Structure 1
Amino acid sequence: MKVLVPVKRVIDYNVKVRVKADGTGVDLANVKMSMNPFDEIAVEEAIRLKEAGKADEVVVVSIGVKQAQETLRTALAMGADRAILIIAADDVNTDIEPLAVAKLLAKVVEEEQPGLVVAGKQAIDNDMNATGQMLSALLGWSQATFASEVDIDGDKAVVTREVDGGLQTIKVNLPAIVTADLRLNEPRYATLPNIMKAKKKPLDEKTAADYGVDVTPRLEVVKTSEPAVRQAGIKVESVDELVTKLKEAGAI
């Protein structure tokens, strides 16, 4: 079975995000970029399935700017077999919307014929949490979102999902779309020998036009702003004053 894993290039989660002075978006100048953490978990899970003998090949795909090839090389260094880069934008500030990404992934799935697609549940830059579900709808495949455990049982996938009330275990028919949650696994670090090997692994470059998909944005970002600054607290002199303040605030 072949496993396809979409990965996205985002601002590194350790970086403090800055908004441009004119409010037109996030400042990406000289900012460290890396693989979306949820996608990293998805790559790790695909590699573990291969190591367990339940998958034959792991293919990673990224959609965006040419610089995303660095992200794909990271996935290859982790243990993926080959990569596909779909260049859909020239400007690093352009974010390809989930529907366009899902349409492009659907075309890749038609070409590659994987038995399973494992994706991150969301990207940390826009928090859309929509691509996996849209891809499932376009393909007519089963879906299991927010996965904290995945097991392949013949022609079915047994997935434990994180839900508001706790955990839910479901069994879905393959082929299927699975989106990874934080507790699914702990991604491995790429070793130096594997980083060197990744440079020789296949990485195909294509464009959105090659697949006949229009990636023109349907949404317009009107304004981007920093979160409101938290107001300073106050000190109280006694328990009675604390109770009074809490009552005034409507807390009790």
Structure 2
Amino acid sequence: MKVLVPVKRVIDYNVKVRVKADGSGVDLANVKMSMNPFDEIAVEEAIRLREAGHATEIVAVSIGVRQAQETLRTALAMGADRAILIEAAATVETDIEPLAVAKLLAKVVADEAPGLVLMGKQAIDNDMNATGQMLSALLGWAQATYASKLEIEDGAAVVTREVDGGLQTIRVKTPAVVTVDLRLNEPRYASLPNIMKAKKKPLDVKTPADYGVDVSPRLSIRTVTEPPVRQAGVKVGSVDELVEKLRNEAGVI
């Protein structure tokens, strides 16, 4: 079974994000970029499936700027077999919207015919959590989201999902789209020999035009602002004063 793993280049999760002075967006100048953490977990899970004998080939795909080749090389160094970059943006400020990404991935799926698409549940830059669901709808495939455990058996994926009430286990027929959550696994570090080998692994560069997909934005950002500064707490002298403030100032009771 071939496994397709979409990965996205985002601001590194350790970086403190800054908003531009004019409120037009996030300041990306000289900011460290890395693979989306949820996508890294998806790559690790694909590798584990291959080690368990369920996967025969792992293909990583990224949609964005040319610099996303670095992200794909990371996936290759972790253990992916080959990679595809769809260069759909000229600058890092341009973020391809989920529907356009899903349409491009659907075209890649049509070409590659994978048995499973493993992807992060969301990207940490826009937190839209929509691409996996849209891809499933476009393909007409089963989907399992928020996966914290994944097993392959008898032509199906048994997925334990994290839901509000706890854990839910479902069984979906393959081919399927599975989006992964943080507790699925702990991604491995790429060794130096594998990093060197990754430089020689195949990486094809495509454009949206090659797939006949229009990636023109449907949304426009009006303004971006910093979150409000948290106000300092106050000390109260009695339970009665606490109740009074909760009722009259906070309005929570």
TM superposition score category, shorter chain reference: over 0.9
TM superposition shift of 1:241? 3.4
2:83 aligned partner, one-letter code? A
1:99 aligned partner, one-letter code? L
1:32-43 correspondence to structure 2 within 5 Å: 32-43=32-43
Q: For 1:206-234, what per-residue CA distance to the aligned partner results, in whole angstroms no more than 9, with x for missing partners?
A: 11111110000001111111111111222
2:170 aligned partner, one-letter code? I
**2:211 maps to which residue?**
211
Structural RMSD (CA): 1.1
Q: For 1:104-135, what per-residue CA distance to the aligned partner results, in whole angstroms no more than 9, with x for missing partners?
A: 00110011110000010000111111101111
**1:125 maps to which residue?**
125
Rounded Cα–Cα distance in structure 2 between residues aligned with 1:94 and 1:247: 46
**1:169 maps to which residue?**
169
**1:30 maps to which residue?**
30
Q: Which runs of 5+ in 1 are unaligned?
A: none
TM superposition shift of 1:244? 3.4
Rounded Cα–Cα distance in structure 2 between residues aligned with 1:172 and 1:243: 51
**1:100 maps to which residue?**
100
**1:250 maps to which residue?**
251
**2:52 maps to which residue?**
52
Rounded Cα–Cα distance in structure 2 between residues aligned with 1:38 and 1:117: 14
Rounded Cα–Cα distance in structure 1 between residues aligned with 2:115 and 2:244: 62
Bigger CA drift: 242-251 or 81-90?
242-251
Report how many residues are paired.
Answer: 252
TM superposition shift of 1:251? 3.8
**1:138 maps to which residue?**
138
Rounded Cα–Cα distance in structure 1 between residues aligned with 2:246 and 2:129: 37
Match of 2:67, SS state, is helix
Rounded Cα–Cα distance in structure 1 between residues aligned with 2:6 and 2:54: 19
**1:114 maps to which residue?**
114
Rounded Cα–Cα distance in structure 2 between residues aligned with 1:102 and 1:165: 29
1:10-21 correspondence to structure 2 within 5 Å: 10-21=10-21
**1:81 maps to which residue?**
81
TM superposition shift of 1:239? 4.4
Rounded Cα–Cα distance in structure 2 between residues aligned with 1:163 and 1:238: 39
Rounded Cα–Cα distance in structure 2 between residues aligned with 1:125 and 1:37: 11
Q: Which runs of 5+ in 2 are unaligned?
A: none
1:241 aligned partner, one-letter code? E
**1:62 maps to which residue?**
62
Rounded Cα–Cα distance in structure 2 between residues aligned with 1:189 and 1:18: 28
1:34 aligned partner, one-letter code? S
Percent identity between the aligned chains?
81
**1:235 maps to which residue?**
235
